[in-house]
Amino acid sequence: MLEARLEQANLFKKVVDAIKDLVQDCNFDCNDSGIALQAMDNSHVALVSMMLRSESFAPFRCDRNIALGINLTSLTKVLKCAQSDDILTLKAEDAPDVVELVFESAESDRISEYSIKLMDIDQEHLGIPETDYGATISMPAAEFQRICRDLIALSESVSIECSKEGVKFACQGDIGSGAVTLRQHTNVDKPEMNVEINMSEPVSLTFSLKYLVNFCKASGLSNQVRLCLSNEVPLLVEYSLANNSHLRFYLAPKIGD
Amino acid sequence: GAGQGNIMSFFGKK
């Protein structure tokens, strides 16, 4: 059986909120290392990969591998019933028909119990190769969100170029063009504002802004976002969570000209 | 214009 208690229901709420517009029906794969999810969007352009490690829960118990097939719209409805300070416990039997969600108030004696019917989801798992990226950029998540939202007003796609000059986000549209360049930057007082660029080779790739704006819905999960780029491979957009957990998005580049 | 790549052409099925 699965029993996973999360001190902050809000964390799970935010994760589901961040991915629900990208993917609809997902398997939450539970085993003794934690709860993982991998799902592609309908058009097979983007891939979501979430890992909530067992250390993120207290207690965490999962005796055998269980795939919880959940519709995220249904999950969102139920998670709305949790208050942000509530403690969340996910429960399921070994061959479950439902997943149970229990919300407990830390301050009062309220206990709310919900269940969601599970779905049989035939999901293909993709093998994500270990990649030595040509450029890795860590930057404030809010800054990345702002850049994507600003540029989508002008164009459908953005080129991300990383060189020794810094990282340049540029777009061209019908009304004109826009570009934002960031250089490495250290803020001693506010390290969450740092921009760190590690580059082993110059990279230049073009991506659909619609997807990037969608990924940025995860901005509330982490102060910083990490962008990993190599020429001609998918972009990795990573939000790190506590206890070595993470929410990652992969986006296939635009190709040709 | 540029075409959109498919994530499955980069990450093979397990």
Inter-chain Cβ pairs, chain A and chain B, closer than 8 A? 59
Q: What is the mean pLDDT of chain A?
A: 96
pLDDT range class, residue A14, cuts 50, 70, 90: very high
A44 to B10: CB separation less than 8 angstroms, yes or no? no
Residue indicated by tokens 């929410």: A247
* Residues of chain A contacting residue B11, judged by C-beta atoms under 8 Å apart: 47, 126-129, 234, 250
Residue A233: the pLDDT is 95
Task: Mention every residue, 6+ apart, whose C-beta is less than 8 A from residue A63.
Answer: A1, A32, A94
Whether A30 shows a pLDDT value over 70: the answer reads: yes
Minimal Cβ distance to A234: which of B3, B10, B14: B10
A252 to B6: CB separation less than 8 angstroms, yes or no? yes
ipTM of the complex: 0.91
What number is the average pLDDT over the span A37-56?
97
- Report chain B's terminal Cα–Cα distance, integer Å: 32
Q: Are A40 and A47 in contact (CB under 8 A)?
A: yes
Alpha-carbon span A156 to A100, nearest angstrom:
41
What number is the average pLDDT over the span A87-115?
95
Whether A257 shows a pLDDT value over 90: the answer reads: no
CA angle A175, A22, A140 (to 5 degrees): 65
Residue A4 in tokens: 């996973």
Alpha-carbon span A54 to A161, nearest angstrom:
37
Minimal Cβ distance to B7: which of A125, A234, A254: A234
Q: Are A72 and A21 in contact (CB under 8 A)?
A: no
pLDDT range class, residue A123, cuts 50, 70, 90: confident
B2 to A206: CB separation less than 8 angstroms, yes or no? yes
Residue A151 in tokens: 């540029």
- Single-letter residue type at A205: L
Residue in chain B nearest A46 by alpha carbon: B7
pLDDT range class, residue B13, cuts 50, 70, 90: confident
Alpha-carbon span A214 to A194, nearest angstrom:
23
Nearest to A22 by CA among A4, A47, A5, A1: A47
Q: For a pLDDT cut of 70, what percent of chain A falls above it?
A: 100
Whether A2 shows a pLDDT value over 70: the answer reads: yes
Instruction: Scan residues 1-14 of B and list those with Cβ closer than 8 Å to A.
Output: 1-14
Residue A199: the pLDDT is 96
Segment A221-254, tens digit of pLDDT: 999 999 999 999 999 999 999 999 999 999 999 9
Residue A169: the pLDDT is 98
Nearest to A237 by CA among A10, A51, A47: A47
